[in-house]
Amino acid sequence: MYPKEIEKYLLKVQKPGRYVGGELGEVIKDKHDVDVRFAFCFPDTYEIGMSHLGIKILYSLFNEKPYIWCERVFAPWIDMEAEMRAHDIPLYALESGDPLTDFDFIGFTLQYELSFTNILNMLSLGGIPVLSRDRHDLNHIVVAGGPCACNPEPITDFIDIFFLGDGEEVDLEVIELYRECKRDGKSRAEFLRLAAQIPGVYVPSLYDVSYNDDGTIKSVIPRDGAPEKVEKRVIMDMDSCYYPDNFVLPNIEIVHDRAVMEIFRGCIRGCRFCQAGFLYRPVREKSIDRINEECHALCRNTGYDEVSLSSLSSSDYTQVVPMLKKLNSWAKPEQVSLSLPSLRVDGFSDDILDEIKTVRKSGLTFAPEAGSQRLRDAINKNVFEDELINTCRVAFEGGYTTVKLYFMIGLPTETMDDVAAIADLGKKVLDTYYSVENRPKGKSPRVTLSASSFVPKPFTPFQWEPQDTMDTLREKQQHIKASIASKKISVSKVTYNYHDTDTSFLEAVFARGDRKLNKAMLLAHQRGMRFDSWSDCFSLQNWLDVFAECGIDPAFYANRRRDFDETLPWDHLDYGITKDFLKRECERAYASQTSPNCREGCMNCGMKKYGGGVCYEKR
Ligand code: SF4
C-alpha cells in the first residue's frame, strides 16, 4: 500500500499506476512477524523492472521463507521524483509503503551499466547514505547481483556486498547469516567479514587496490581473511532449482507482459562479443517434465495466455520440438500461445514454426550480428548467409512478412566492406521474399536492419579490445545508410535504424572501469544525473564535464587496447572462464577462425570444474 501522502500527487504525474502497488499476486506480510525485511530495488521504471525475470524468481523465493518479507521498489520517473523531493516523501516499497530506511537489506539488480546512477539516486531518495562508509549499524545492507556484478569496480564505494553468479542459494545464505548476526548483536563490520567467507560473495571494502603510474592496476590485495579470488555460484541441477508458480500481475502495461519459463541457463555458442554467453556457462537444462509442470502452473495461476520459453538461445534446447509438442498438448486447447525468443537463424525449422505460430504471426527477429561471412567468423557467430536466406524463405512461406535483423558495428577486425555488407544482406532478404511463390498475398514485406555499437565487455575474448571512437562509429552508421541508398530500395521495405553512439561510449567506460570511476559516479549523482539509458535524460556533455572535473580520461577505459598481461579490474573475480581460453579465442578471432559450440567439441573454457551440464554430455 502506498503512503497516504503520495495520493495528492498521483494525478499530477505520468502513469500513476507505477506507484500504487496492490497488484494481484503481491505478497503482504505483517512486518512484526518477520526477522528480515528485504527491499528488492530495480534501478529503472516500473514497466521495465516488472518485466524482469530475476526479480520475479527472487521475490517469490525470499517470500517463501516465513521470516523474510521481500518487497519491490522501482525508480520513480523524474516527474514523481520531483514531487517526492519537494514534499519530503522518501522512496518507499510498493507492498507496505514503508521507506527504504525500514529495511534490513536494500538489494539492486545490475542489468546494465547505464542504470548505475539510478542506484545512487534511489538510495538518496530513500534516505539511505549513498556511501557505504557512511552506513554504520547492522541494517541497510546494500547488496547487488546480476550480470554487471562481474565488474562492479566503478560502484564499489556504494554497495556493501556483490553476489556473483546464480543468486538462488547465495542470497539466502547471506540473509541467514545476517539474521544470526542480528540475533547475536554483531556489528556491521563483523557481518561483512563473515559474509565474505561465503562462496560467491564479494565484499569490496575488504580489498585494497593500488595503481601503476600509467593508471593501470598494480595490485588488488584482500584483507581480513577475504578470499584472493571470489568464485561465482552455479546451480547445476536446474530441476531442483526454485522457480515461482505465480507472478505479481502489473497494474499498467509493462514491456513484457506474459508468463516466462526459463528452459535452460547458459549458452553453448561462444559468440566472442557476448558477455552473457560466457558469464552463465555451462549450459544446464531443465527437463521437459519439469518445464511442462512449472509452465502449466504458472499459466493457470496468472491467467496469462502467452508464455515465453526463455534462455539465451532457445532453439538450442536439446529436445526443443518434443518440448513444444508436450506444452502444446494443454496450451493449444487452453488457447495459450508459446513463443521462443532469441531464435538462432540455424535453429529455425518448419517443425518449430508449426508449434509456435499457433496464435499470432508477428514478425521474426534474428541476429546475424555482422554483414560479411569473414566478420561473422571472427566473432564466432557460426551463421551462414544461405542459412539466413533459407530461414527467411521458410518464414515467408509460412506467412510472415516482417523480418528484423540485428547487427553490431565497431566489432574487432571490422572494415568498411564488412559494414556495407549489412546493406547487401538486407537486399538479399527482400529479394528472397519476392522469389517465394506462395508468399503472403496483398501484403508488403518489411525488412528492418538495426545496428548497435559494439561495447567490449569483461569475461569475453574481446575484453582487451578498444571500442571504436564515436567518430568512427558515426562514419560506419552513415556508410550503411549510403549503401542502402545506393541500392535504390524503397525505405518502406528496408528500414534502417541505429543506436546512439554517446550512450554506447559511456557504457564502454563503465563496463571495464576501475575504482577511480566511483568519484565520477558520485559527482554525477550530486549533479542530478540519472536515467542515463533514457535519451530524454542522458547528456554526454554532462558526463564529459564530470570526468574532466575528476581528472578522468574516459577514453582510457573505452578506447584503449589492453595488453594480455595487464591486470584487469575484475581479475580477482572468477566466473569459471580461464584467461588462457579467452586469449586463445581472441587470437582465433584475428585469424577469422571459428570455434565449435560446446556440443560439437569442447574448447576447454574452464567450466568443467563445476562437474556437470553440457561439459559432461555425451558428444
Ligand atoms: S568446458 Fe567445454 S563444454 Fe564446458 S562450457 Fe567450456 S567449452 Fe563448453
**pLDDT greater at residue 247 or residue 399:** 247
- Residue 377 domain-assigned? no
- Measure 460 CA to ligand 1 centroid, in angstroms: 14
pLDDT at residue 398, rounded to an integer: 81
Confidence category of residue 355, pLDDT binned at 50, 70, 90: confident
Residue of minimum CA distance from atom 8 in ligand 1: 598
Per the structure, the complete domain to which residue 125 belongs is given by: 4-231
In angstroms, how far is CA 565 from the centroid of its own chain?
28
- Measure 604 CA to ligand 1 centroid, in angstroms: 6
- Our mutation pick for probing the ligand 1 site, out of 316, 578, 602, counting the most ligand atoms within 8 A of Cβ, is 602
CB atoms within 10 A of CB 447: 24
pLDDT 10s digits, 402-455: 999 999 999 999 999 999 999 999 999 999 999 988 877 778 889 999 999 999
- Measure 234 CA to ligand 1 centroid, in angstroms: 14
pLDDT at residue 342, rounded to an integer: 66
- Measure 392 CA to ligand 1 centroid, in angstroms: 31
- Measure 308 CA to ligand 1 centroid, in angstroms: 27
Sequence-distant (6+) residues with CB within 8 A of 316 are: 264, 267, 268, 269, 283, 344, 347
Q: Is the pLDDT of residue 359 over 50?
A: no
Specify the ligand 1 atom closest to the Cα of 608: 1
Ligand 1 contact via 614 beta carbon (within 6 Å)? yes
Distances (CA, A) of 452 to 28, 222, 411, 497, 602: 42, 38, 10, 9, 30
Quickly tell me which residue has 512461406 as its cell: 397
Ligand 1 contact via 602 beta carbon (within 6 Å)? yes
- Residue 143 domain-assigned? yes
Beta strands in 136-245 (DSSP E): 141-145, 161-163, 201-202, 207-211, 217-222, 230-231
pLDDT at residue 444, rounded to an integer: 85
The total number of structural domains in the chain stands at 1
- Measure 424 CA to ligand 1 centroid, in angstroms: 35
DSSP state of 442: T
Ligand 1 contact via 282 beta carbon (within 6 Å)? yes
CB 477 within 8 A of CB 409: yes
Residue of minimum CA distance from atom 5 in ligand 1: 282
- Residue 90 domain-assigned? yes
CB 170 within 8 A of CB 218: no
Q: Do the strands 306-310 and 259-262 form a parallel or antiparallel pair, or are they unpaired?
A: parallel
Hey, what amino acid is at 529? M
546: its cell numbers: 564530470
Give the residue-averaged pLDDT of 164-187: 97
Phi, psi (rounded to 5 degrees) for 497? -135, 155
Specify the ligand 1 atom closest to the Cα of 602: 2
- Residue 34 domain-assigned? yes
Residue of minimum CA distance from atom 4 in ligand 1: 615
- 602: nearest Cα among 253, 195, 282, 351: 282
Sequence-distant (6+) residues with CB within 8 A of 347 are: 313, 314, 315, 316, 320
Residue of minimum CA distance from atom 6 in ligand 1: 605
- Measure 390 CA to ligand 1 centroid, in angstroms: 30
- Residue 492 domain-assigned? no
How far, in Å, CA of 535 to CA of 61, rounded? 35
CB 214 within 8 A of CB 176: no
pLDDT at residue 522, rounded to an integer: 98
- 614: nearest Cα among 504, 601, 497, 365: 601
Give the residue-averaged pLDDT of 97-108: 98
DSSP-assigned letters across all residues of 19-55: G----TT-----GGG-SEEEEEEESS-HHHHTT-HHH
Sequence-distant (6+) residues with CB within 8 A of 35 are: 67, 68, 179, 182
574: its cell numbers: 572468477
How far, in Å, CA of 123 to CA of 127, rounded? 6
Ligand 1 contact via 598 beta carbon (within 6 Å)? yes
DSSP state of 233: B
Mean pLDDT of the chain: 94
Hey, what amino acid is at 332? K
DSSP state of 271: -
pLDDT 10s digits, 244-301: 999 999 989 999 889 999 999 999 999 999 999 999 999 999 999 999 999 999 999 9
Give the residue-averaged pLDDT of 344-372: 74
337: its cell numbers: 500461445
- Measure 464 CA to ligand 1 centroid, in angstroms: 22
Confidence category of residue 357, pLDDT binned at 50, 70, 90: low
Rg, C-alpha atoms of the chain: 24
Give the residue-averaged pLDDT of 352-374: 77
Q: Is the pLDDT of residue 340 over 90?
A: no
Ligand 1 contact via 284 beta carbon (within 6 Å)? no
CB 372 within 8 A of CB 388: no
- Residue 54 domain-assigned? yes
CB 100 within 8 A of CB 106: yes
Confidence category of residue 512, pLDDT binned at 50, 70, 90: very high
CB 128 within 8 A of CB 142: yes
Give the residue-averaged pLDDT of 112-141: 97
Give the residue-averaged pLDDT of 168-175: 97
How far, in Å, CA of 493 to CA of 361, rounded? 18
pLDDT 10s digits, 456-490: 999 999 999 999 999 999 999 999 999 998 887 77
Q: CATH number, domain at 43?
A: 3.40.50.280
- 608: nearest Cα among 581, 586, 590: 581
Ligand 1 contact via 281 beta carbon (within 6 Å)? yes
In the sheet where 259-262 sits, what is the strand order? 259-262, 306-310, 337-339
**If residue 87 lies in a helix (H) or strand (E), which one and from where to where?**
none
How far, in Å, CA of 370 to CA of 449, rounded? 11
Ligand 1 contact via 577 beta carbon (within 6 Å)? no
Residue of minimum CA distance from atom 3 in ligand 1: 615
- Residue 18 domain-assigned? yes
CB-based burial label for 199 (10 Å; 0-12, 13-18, 19+):
middle
Quickly tell me which residue has 540519472 as its cell: 530
341: its cell numbers: 525468443
CB 245 within 8 A of CB 298: yes
For the chain, give the number of residues: 619
- Residue 387 domain-assigned? no
Ligand 1 contact via 615 beta carbon (within 6 Å)? yes
Specify the ligand 1 atom closest to the Cα of 605: 6
Ligand 1 contact via 234 beta carbon (within 6 Å)? no
Specify the ligand 1 atom closest to the Cα of 606: 1
